[in-house]
Amino acid sequence: MTQINENYLKLKAGYLFPEIGRRVKAYSDANQSAKIIRLGIGDVTLPLAPTIVNAMVDAAKEMGSSAGFHGYGPEQGYSFLIQKIIAHDYTARGVQIAEDEVFVSDGSKCDCGNIQEIFSLDSKIAVVDPVYPVYVDTNVMAGRTGEVGSDGRYANIIYMPATEENNFEPDFPKEKPDIIYLCYPNNPTGMVATKARLTEWVNFAKKIGSIILYDSAYESFIQDPEIPKSIYEIPGAKEVAMEFRSFSKTAGFTGTRCAYLVIPKDLKGKTKTGEEISFNSLWNRRHTTKFNGVSYVTQKGAEAVFSAQGQVEIKEQISYYMQNAKLIREGLATAGYTVFGGTNAPYIWLKTPRGLKSWEFFDELLGKAQVVGTPGSGFGPAGEGYFRLSAFGKREDVISAIERIQKM
């Protein structure tokens, strides 16, 4: 009989969000009249902006003509989109990025999960705890970790706790990692990294010879002009970091699927014999082998995000979600909860009341208020005793949810 990849058996019972779905379904089946408000999974609720829709409609019409039809496109992405990405996200910030350093994909989740393939299985990873589960789970699947311990941590992973005690700013690991996963604005805590702190991370990675995998999927929600939106705003970062970006939350592409990964050609690793190899070339080989590119229609929609009118429309949507975040944060504070985040990110991270465990609070919130959030422990052991609420709901649902919570 064919053998399985036994690394999958190391994974905990189930991926976090399907487990939430299972519990909500069980409650809903038993309480069919209940109106459940979902502020758990970070899925957007506003429709695509009109300028984006129009661009996609026009592109679809092109595809219906002989002259405008597009078959396989460049796996790395069409130049018309990459040029807009570079101009808007990098050149405008004084950062020089070449076209062949940008790879368009179908989502940052996919990129964050797949990127580990170009690193040696002997590579040791460091993650902030709590952490976006994909960073850990995909390394477990690949065989880069040991078994999970009784404390919820996998052997051979360096965990960097981020809690209220250290203001959710993890210390540098004492053990040397080969790969450091950073996410700012952070999912799930909603915290951000200052330019000074990011500079320290870049200098640390340079000193010890590590690579930073920088997930900036929520950069468009940063309100403070002093907070960097790209790690490449830090001198020297192109030598030690690759950056993950997404249209999912920025422009509502969670169901449309489009993202991009920046890997500078200066970013290098080495073989066992000491030969230096560009990670850009490795990812390009992986990307062109396993991926046929994002559809032309989708990329034309993504291009429209960078138009003058597209920017106006998506900024209105971001403002809508950030107003939701403000309502949640202030409403919870009024109810006596200790809250974090929600000022430069669409996530609010709260301390569970009365010493409740994260899943205990999940069940209480669902049972008493019919509101769904995300248990902090699902993001890692340091998330125990915390809870995440998302600002991506509809305004009326957000207001109703807070009113319900305040009555608990």
Q: Is 60 exposed, middle or buried (0-12, 13-18, 19+ CB in 10 A)?
A: middle
Please indicate, yes or no, whether the overall pTM of this predicted structure exceeds 0.85.
yes
153 is in an annotated binding site: no
- The DSSP string of 343-407 is SSSSEEEEEPGGG--HHHHHHHHHHHH-EE-EEGGGG-GGGTTEEEEES-S-HHHHHHHHHHHHH
- Model confidence at 17: pLDDT above 80: no
CA dist., res. 304 & res. 325, Å (int): 26
Contact 157, 139 (CB under 8 A): yes
CA–CA gap between residue 372 and residue 24 (Å, rounded): 8
CA distance 150 to 143: 19
Query: Is 246 marked as a binding-site residue?
Result: yes
Q: What is the mean pLDDT of residues 304-310?
A: 98
The verdict on whether residue 27 carries a ligand-binding annotation is: no
**Domains with residue ranges and CATH for the chain:** 12-47+310-407 (3.90.1150.10), 54-307 (3.40.640.10)
Tell me whether residue 218 is annotated as binding: yes
Q: Is it the case that residue 21 has pLDDT exceeding 90?
A: no
Closest CA to 212 of 236, 188, 248: 236
Tell whether 247 is in a known binding site: yes
Res 19 pLDDT > 90: no
Res. 18 pLDDT band, cuts 50 70 90: confident
DSSP code at position 217: T
Bridge partners for 371 per DSSP: 37
pLDDT at 15: 65
Residue 140's SS3 state is helix
Known binding residue 400? Answer is no
Does 344 carry a binding-site annotation? no
Using pLDDT thresholds of 50, 70 and 90, give the confidence band for residue 14: low
109 appears as a binding residue in the annotation? yes
77 is in an annotated binding site: no
Is position 105 annotated in a ligand binding site? no
What amino acid occupies position 252? G
Residue 41: pLDDT band (50, 70, 90) is confident
Ligand-binding annotation for 383, yes or no, is: no
**pLDDT over 80 (residue 24):** yes
Q: What is the pLDDT of residue 72?
A: 97
Q: Is residue 259's pLDDT more than 70?
A: yes
CA atoms within 13 A on the CB side of 15: 13
Residue 42 annotated in ligand binding: yes
Q: Quote the mean pLDDT of the chain.
A: 96
